[in-house]
């Protein structure tokens, strides 16, 4: 929606599994919002994560609620259900098309993702049309060496790589810590710590 001053709305779209959402995601969204002067960032938890078929992903509703809890305190952050409500695998093309449909034509979209995921973009559905829908921002994580041969082939004016400082947190590490009864305080927002405990997420038979 154009603001009252007639300027186009600059909307970040942060896709992820968010199993669980952690401070790395929140810092990345905040950094990109600062760098690109975004008016808002909408977090979009995935539906069926076809790229992560190797493990059980938590229920979409749990991932959605953790994302809501984590973003509630930031007036510029919101959460969308478009991916969890669309049946079948999640493709970024569908995410961006649905968000565009929801928000109208007066919005500029900035799709925020990890550089690792961005590198896979050429293998995504409708890759050739993706760049008409959004600008792409690939975040790199400190300590994670990533090989991104494909990014070099992407249209330069539609892609930016951005190093996010200091937060080498991953959801995988958070899940492992919970399973091993190690604390996740300060890696994820306080409300998410409580939600994980309340729902007994990530515990394994070996945890108990």
Question: Which CB sits closer to ligand ATP, 3 or 11?
Answer: 11
Instruction: Provide Rg for the chain, Cα atoms.
Output: 17
- Closest separation between CB of residue 197 and ligand ATP, Å? 19
Nearest to 13 by CA among 120, 124, 87, 97: 97
Residue nearest to ligand ATP (CB): 114
Name the residue among 55, 57, 33 with its Cα closest to residue 43.
33
Closer to ligand ATP by CB, 11 or 174: give it: 174
Q: Cβ closer to ligand ATP: 139 or 201?
A: 139
Taking residues 19 to 38 in sequence order and writing x for each that binds ligand ATP by CB under 6 A, - otherwise, the string is x----xx--x----------
Residue 114 beta carbon to ligand ATP: minimum distance, rounded to whole angstroms: 2
Instruction: Provide the token pair at 182.
Output: 């190690």
12 binds ligand ATP (CB under 6 A): no
SS (H, E, C) 9-38: EEEEEEEECCCCCCHHHHHHHHHHHHHCCC
Q: Which of 168, 166, 196 has the alpha carbon at shortest distance from 182?
A: 196
CB distance 159 to 118 below 8 Å: yes
Q: Mask of contacts with ligand ATP, 55-94, x by CB under 6 A?
A: ----------------------------------------
Window 143-172: residues binding ligand ATP (CB under 6 A): 164, 167, 169-172
CA distance linking residue 161 with residue 124, whole number of Å:
18
Count the residues of the shown chain that bind ligand ATP, applying the rule CB under 6 A: 19
Binding residues for ligand ATP, rule: CB under 6 A, are: 16-19, 24-25, 28, 113-114, 116-117, 139, 141, 164, 167, 169-172
């Amino acid at each position: 929606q154009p603001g009252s001053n007639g300027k186009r709305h600059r909307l970040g779209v942060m896709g992820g599994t968010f199993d669980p959402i952690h401070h790395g995601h929140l810092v990345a969204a905040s950094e990109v919002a600062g760098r690109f002067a975004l008016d808002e960032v909408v977090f979009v938890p995935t539906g069926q994560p076809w790229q992560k078929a190797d493990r059980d992903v938590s229920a979409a509703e749990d991932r959605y609620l953790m994302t809501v809890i984590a973003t509630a305190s930031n007036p510029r952050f919101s959460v969308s259900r478009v991916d969890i409500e669309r049946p079948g695998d999640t493709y970024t093309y569908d995410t961006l098309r649905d968000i565009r449909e929801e928000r109208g034509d007066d919005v500029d979209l900035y799709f925020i993702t990890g550089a690792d995921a961005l590198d896979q973009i050429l293998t995504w559905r409708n890759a050739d049309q993706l760049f008409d829908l959004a600008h792409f921002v690939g975040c790199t994580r400190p300590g994670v060496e990533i090989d991104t041969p494909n990014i070099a082939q992407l249209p330069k004016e539609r892609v930016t790589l951005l190093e996010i400082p200091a937060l080498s947190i991953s959801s995988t590490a958070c899940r492992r810590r919970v399973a091993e009864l190690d604390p996740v305080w300060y890696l994820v927002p306080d409300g998410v710590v409580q939600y994980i405990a309340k729902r007994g997420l990530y515990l394994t038979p070996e945890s108990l």
